[in-house]
Amino acid sequence: MALRSNFEPGTSPWATRRAQWRALGLSDDDMTKPKIAIVNSSSQLAICYSHLDAIAARAKEAIARAGGIGFEVRTTAPSDFIHSAGHRGGYILSARDLIVNDIEVSVEGPLLDGMICLASCDKTTPAQLMAAGRLNIPTIIVACGYQPCGEFRGKHCDIEDVFLAAGHHAQGRIDLPELTEMADTAVRGPGVCAGMGTANSMHIAAEALGMALPGSTPVAANSPKMWDAVEQAGRRVVAMVEEDLKPRDILTPESFRNAAMVVLSVSGSINTVKHLQAVAAESEVDVDVYGLYERCADDVPLLAAVRPNGTHSIEQFEAAGGALGIMSRLRDLLGTDARTLTGRTLGENLAGAEVSDDEVIRPLDRPYGRRPSIVLIRGSLAPETGIVKLAVDDDRPLSFTGPAIVYDSPLDALDGLKRGEVEPGQVLVLRGLGPKGSPGMGMASRPVFALDGAGLTGQVAVVTDGQLSGLVNKGIVVGEVSPEAADGGPLALVADGDVISIDVLARRVDLEVPEDVLTDRRSRLDRPGSTERGWLSIYQRTVRPLQQGAVLTGREEQI
């Protein structure tokens, strides 16, 4: 087998590599085998990554049994709840693109032949898919599972409950001992957040794209099913190298459309939109993912209602059939000719797929609803896009008009809430949190949850260029407004008292200020220079807009 990792004997690269690898214990036979990167984002900083080292070891054994040789390589391991503390949360989204470059250096530098990527918390899955598309070598995404949750006073309690409760504590609705007790019981083991948030949504999207093994998502961390997927992945990736089956054979406009429809059908995370767009950009696939979500939204019914968007648990969803089950329900809507990493089409993978619980994963003729849960909106305040997440059973009014109250950071907004500045009927504008503004895209959910804690959900709307929790939002919240304020978007021009109107059903968000007033404000707009250093400075200078996936520009675009 001709492998790019095998060099001509006697050459300098062959000799020096041999010296290094023989010292690591590799045999002459090992030198000629398919060389597979095991991409591991292990970290002791966050529970979502704490089990990956054991998975990497098992993957290496499985690769060896299949006739390959595995090399574990490491990347950064961002956790939203841990790494958002510094620089206004700027290290979260920006870490996604840092992981892509970590993988490029560790895999493309030594010219390895394939990859198994251990997917865990929110940014690892899109980053690994982006790297797969960029490097275009045989790759399998292995979902490493969701965490077991606890109970608080007899009721289910998970990390998102703690996040929301912290907003209530900030407004004096619950006391510190109660919040402490919740935090101490919410997480009972390793894995990602146990709801239909960004991590589980992206794991499912990877399977819908054809880049994860059929039936492998979602999965409980350290369960027999997860370990079986690791074993299968070890065998399959070596076969993919032999077959020369690459990501760009799989990542096509049809597969991206499938992924968008599956996410819509499960009321998945809004963050999947920008992540899938980024995967398309790195894979050089000409597809408008934002447009896919808009066009598919009215055609795809809601077939699952997983916490916190509904009443069922992720465990129930997995048991009912998971991603394979939901795709079997959507079979008539999906592009079943799309190729997958099995070497077979999606339709062939779905043969025999079943749903074991018609209430957890409903049939097409009995959905939870037909109103989309991910709504892309535009208007004079969001000329390119904004995004709204709706819960499955959300029956609140979907229009709002009121005067703006403007804050330039989440902390300022929280202080304003404490001072009583935010009143019913207002639209809270939170700006400067976009990819360039933070830089790195700051999290706007804390003020949203604090509004809920203050009893203002439904009475105050929110418009922001920041990102929101992938699990749930409260009230009418328009997130990821683009162009962002730091790019001179209309959000930068909003002043206290300006009237903002939001109509989710009409998919509009508008700033009702005369154009001549906005022109005058734009002429006086002050754009302070960046004070960032290090990685965030690089990210700020090179990040593209959200509609291009917020990926980093190439060299030719900077000249």
Domain map (residue ranges) of the chain: 29-147+190-350, 149-188, 377-526
Q: Which amino acid is at 257?
A: R
Is the pLDDT at 173 greater than 50? The verdict is yes
State the pLDDT at residue 390: 86
Instruction: Give the Cα separation of 446 and 435 in Å (integer).
Output: 18
CB 367 within 8 A of CB 301: yes
What dihedral angle (degrees, nearest 10) is formed by the CA atoms of 548, 550, 552, 553? 30
Note the pLDDT tens digit of each residue in 375-421: 999 999 999 999 999 877 666 679 999 999 999 999 999 999 999 99
Is the pLDDT at 161 greater than 70? The verdict is yes
Beta bridge partners of 552: 543
Phi, psi at 415, each rounded to 5°: -65, -40
Tell me whether domains 29-147+190-350 and 377-526 share a fold: no
Q: Which of 94, 255, 469, 482 is catalytic?
A: 469
Instruction: Give the Cα separation of 455 and 527 in Å (integer).
Output: 35
> Is residue 469 flagged as an active site residue?
yes
Task: Return all residues near 380 (Cβ < 8 A) that are at least 6 apart.
Answer: 490, 510, 511
Token digits of residue 556? 């030719």
Q: In the predicted model, what is the mean pLDDT of the chain?
A: 93
Instruction: Give the Cα separation of 18 and 449 in Å (integer).
Output: 56
CB 227 within 8 A of CB 169: no
Instruction: Give the Cα separation of 27 and 13 in Å (integer).
Output: 17
State the pLDDT at residue 471: 55
Looking at domain 377-526, its CATH superfamily turns out to be: IlvD/EDD C-terminal domain-like (3.50.30.80)
Looking at domain 29-147+190-350, its CATH superfamily turns out to be: Response regulator (3.40.50.2300)
Q: DSSP secondary structure string, 36-94?
A: EEEEE---SS-GGGTTHHHHHHHHHHHHHHTT-EEEEEE-----HHHHTSSGGGTHHHH
Q: Is 152 helix (H, G, I), strand (E, B) or coil?
A: strand
Note the pLDDT tens digit of each residue in 333-369: 999 999 999 999 999 999 989 999 999 999 999 999 9
Beta bridge partners of 378: 508
Instruction: Give the Cα separation of 293 and 270 in Å (integer).
Output: 10
